[in-house]
Chains A and B, each alone.
Chain A
Amino acid sequence: MRRLIQLFFRFGGLFLFLLLEGIAFFMVVQYNKEQKAIFFNSLSHLSQYFEDKSHAISYHFSLETEADSLRKENSKFKQLLISLDIDYTDKEVSVFDDAPFQQYLLQSAKVIKNSIHKNHNYLILDRGTEDGIEKHSAVITDNGIVGIVIEVRKKHCLVMSILHRQTRVSSALKNQNAHGSLIWKDLNPLKMNLENIPKHIQPIERGDTVLTSGYSAMFPEGLVVGTVDSSWIEQGKGAHTITINLNEDISTLKYVYIVTNLMRAEQLELEQIINDE
C-alpha cells in the first residue's frame, strides 16, 4: 500500500494529467458540434483505413491457397488442351463416341526434393496413392517434360528425372516429323541429346523444336521439350547426333504436373502382342 502511494506521488502527475486530459477530450468531442463532427468523421476514416489494411494482410496470407487452387485449375485446362488436341486429330472417334474422349489426367504437385548433378537424378513430389498417382505416370511442366514416376507411396512419389543415364524418351522434330529417342549423357542439366534420327532427314537446323512423340505411352504427344542446339553426322553412323537445349530449367522447378495416361494399359497390351510375336 505504501509503495502504491509512493508510486502515485512519483507518477501521480502523469496519471492525473492523462485522466483529466481524457475527460476534457471526451467533453470536447461530446459537447462541441464541430469537433464532434471532425472526430467521428476521422474515426470512420481511420476504421476504414484499418479495415483496408487488415484486408490486404489477410489477402496476402490467402495467396498461398489462391495459388494452389489456380494451379489446380491450370492443370484442368492443360488436361483439356491435351485431350482436345487428340480429339481434333481423331474426329472419327468422337462421331461414334458421344462421351468426351479423355486420355490424360493432370494433377499439380509440388517438388519436395530435386537433384541435377548426379548420374542418376530423381525428384520427390508431394502426391501419392491417396491422390490417385500411378507408377509410370509422366511429370511435365508448362515449358517441358520432367520425368517419370517410378515409385508411389501414400503421400509422395519418386520421379526419375529426364536427367538420368537411362532415360529414353521418344521424341520428334517438329518440322520433319522424324522420330528419335532423347537421352542424357553430357551431365549438363540444360542439355540433352536426340539419337536415332536417320541420316536422310535433312536439313536439321539450329532452333528446330523438339516435341514428345507420344510413342512411349508415358508422355502425351506434342509437348515441347526443347530446341536443337547443334547437329552433325558422325563418321560411319547412320544417324544424326543432335544436341538440344531443354526448354525447362529442371534445377529451378517448384511446381509440376503429373500426367496419368488413362489408356496406358490398353496401349501396353497391344505392345505386348508385338513383343510376344
Chain B
Amino acid sequence: MMNSTITVNAFRFVILVLLQGLVLQNIGNDWATFPYFNIFLYPIFIFLLPLRTPKPLVIFLAFILGLIVDLFYATPGVHTSASVFTAFVRPVVLNYFEPRAGYNANHSPTKKRLGSNWYIKYSLTLELIHLFFYFSVEAFSPVFIVNILIKTGVALIASMIFIIIHQILFDPAE
C-alpha cells in the first residue's frame, strides 16, 4: 500500500515533468496570433499527493518539481516559486473544501475518492493560484496586471481541459 503510493507518485512525477517539458511547452509556442496560450499540467502532481503527506515534504517535492520544469523552460526559479507557493496553500484549499464527512487520511485527493464535482473545484482553485503566481513572477511587476490576468484566464481554461481529461482517462485512486 505504502510502497505502491510512492511508486505511483514517483512515476507520475517523471511522466508529468517529461510531458510538460517536452510536449506541452511546445504547444502554442510558435502561435504568433495567440501568444497567451499555455498549458500547465505538471501542478497536478502537487494536487494529487496523498492527504497524509507531511506539509514540509509537499513543499520540498514541489520545489524539486518546479526546479526540473524550470530546466526545460530555461527560466530558473519562476516555476519553482509558483510550485512552492501552490504546495504551501494546498492544505488551506483542502481545509476549505473539506467534505462534511471529513477526509480519509490514507486517500489521495482524486476524482475517484472525492467525486468529480469536488475534484473540479479543488483543482480549479489550486490551478488558478498556481497560474496567477507563475505569471506574476514571470512579468515581475504590477504594471503588467492586465496581461497577467489575461494569461492566467486563458491558461486556466486550457489547462483545466487537460486536468479533467487526465482524471477521466486514468481515474487514479492514488
Contact = CB atoms under 8 A, between A and B. Distances in A.
B76 A17 contact: no
Interface in A1-43: 9, 12-17, 20-21, 23-32, 34-35, 38-39, 42
Interface string B49-88: 0000011101110010010001000011110110011011
B72 to A, nearest CB: 14
A30 B81 CA distance: 14
A16 B59 contact: yes
A21 B141 contact: no
Nearest to A15: B56
Contact of B84 (A17, A26, A35, A38): A17
Contacts of A29: 77
Interface string B8-36: 00000000000000000000000000000
A20 B59 contact: yes
A21 B81 contact: yes
Contact of B77 (A12, A31, A38): A31
Contacts of A32: 75-78
A35 B60 CA distance: 24
Interface in B126-148: 137-138, 140-141
Nearest to B85: A21
Contacts of B81: 21, 24-25, 28
A27 B80 contact: yes
A200 B161 CA distance: 110
B54 to A, nearest CB: 8
Contacts of A13: 54-56, 58-59, 88, 91
Contacts of A25: 77, 81, 137
Given A26-B77, A28-B76, A20 B60 contact: yes
A20 to B, nearest CB: 4
B80 A16 contact: no
A215 to B, nearest CB: 75
Interface of A: 9, 12-17, 20-21, 23-32, 34-35, 38-39, 42
Interface of B: 54-56, 58-60, 63, 66, 70, 75-78, 80-81, 84-85, 87-88, 91, 137-138, 140-141
10 contacts: A12-B54, A23-B63, A23-B77, A24-B78, A24-B84, A28-B137, A30-B77, A31-B76, A31-B77, A35-B78
